[in-house]
Structure 1
Amino acid sequence: MDIPKLQRVIIDALEDVKAEDIRVFDTTKISDLFDRVIIATGNSNRQTKSLAMSVKESVKEKGGDVISVEGMETGEWVLVDCGDIIVHILQPMLRSYYQLEGIWGDKPVRVKLGSKANKSKRFASEPEDDEDD
């Protein structure tokens, strides 16, 4: 499966289970192991596990490969390895602490969010507006 199609399948799967703050990064210049990193937030152990299962099932259903899923025991940080794309699903406190965007965020990818449910104009590379501003 090509990168854009796999990326879309993963984002749709995350949105189906209401993932928050989905970000996509091009890692081709940083790592030879994979081409994209997708980072998303789940608000509970149950939700992070459900998000990971949704990604796994959707990718396999569309003919893609899921190499492994790590972190399902606790559900605080679940990693889904889809070969060319690595998906990190974290709870808010861990996401804030580890700041994965700082590691992988050199080259954000603009991907339209809300493609299924609502035709939102938000993009995965753009942070949500803070109410404090």
Structure 2
Amino acid sequence: MNEQELLDLQKMVDVAINALEDIKAKDISVLETQEKTSLFARMIIASGDSTRQVKALANNVAVDLKEAGFEILSTEGDTGEWTLVDAGDLVVHVMLPAVRDFYDIDTLWGGEKPSFHAGAQKPWHAAD
């Protein structure tokens, strides 16, 4: 990636994080994935407290990214347990804590237990 592409990617990540924080997402994790796949460069994983919040979080991410001039390739998952927003170089997963705990994609893509975005108080756990 050249310098401008990196700046655009960082702007995309910042817009998505702000959209998640606006609706009180929990345990926001940002993973660099460009070394693991050529499909996307960053992945954001966040948790919501209810199916309604998960849907609202994903919708807010998609709307804010579009308003910022980024293309949304697709959104997947209407049950509200796990919703994905595909914005090309950025993929955003929003999940219920139990689903996130079960699939553990933080570790799968990050290779180790994740470090959470500023503001996260503790790692999530399905029993909380």
For normalisation by structure 2, the TM-score amounts to: 0.83
Asked if 1:124 corresponds to 2:117, the answer is yes
1:106 offset after TM fit, Å? 3.5
Is residue 26–residue 35 contact of structure 1 (8 Å, CA) maintained in 2? yes
Q: Which runs of 4+ in 1 moved over 6 A?
A: 107-110
Q: Distance in 2 between matches of 1:89 and 1:69?
A: 11
Is residue 106–residue 114 contact of structure 2 (8 Å, CA) maintained in 1? no
Q: Of 29, 33, 44, which residue of structure 1 is paired with 2:35?
A: 29
Aligned twin of 1:84 = 89
Report the 3-state secondary structure (helix = DSSP H, G, I; strand = E; otherwise coil) of the residue aligned with 1:34: coil
- How many residue pairs get matched? 117
Larger helix proportion of the pair: 2
For residues 78-131 of structure 1, what are the alpha-carbon distances to aligned partners after superposition, in whole Å with 9 as ceiling and x for unaligned?
000011010000001001111111111148998xxxxxxxxxxxx61796347x
Report the 3-state secondary structure (helix = DSSP H, G, I; strand = E; otherwise coil) of the residue aligned with 2:117: coil
Identity of aligned residues (%): 44
For normalisation by structure 1, the TM-score amounts to: 0.80
Q: Distance in 2 between matches of 1:126 and 1:30?
A: 27
Give the aligned CA root-mean-square deviation in angstroms: 2.3
For residues 28-69 of structure 1, what are the alpha-carbon distances to aligned partners after superposition, in whole Å with 9 as ceiling and x for unaligned?
110000000100001111000000110010000010011000
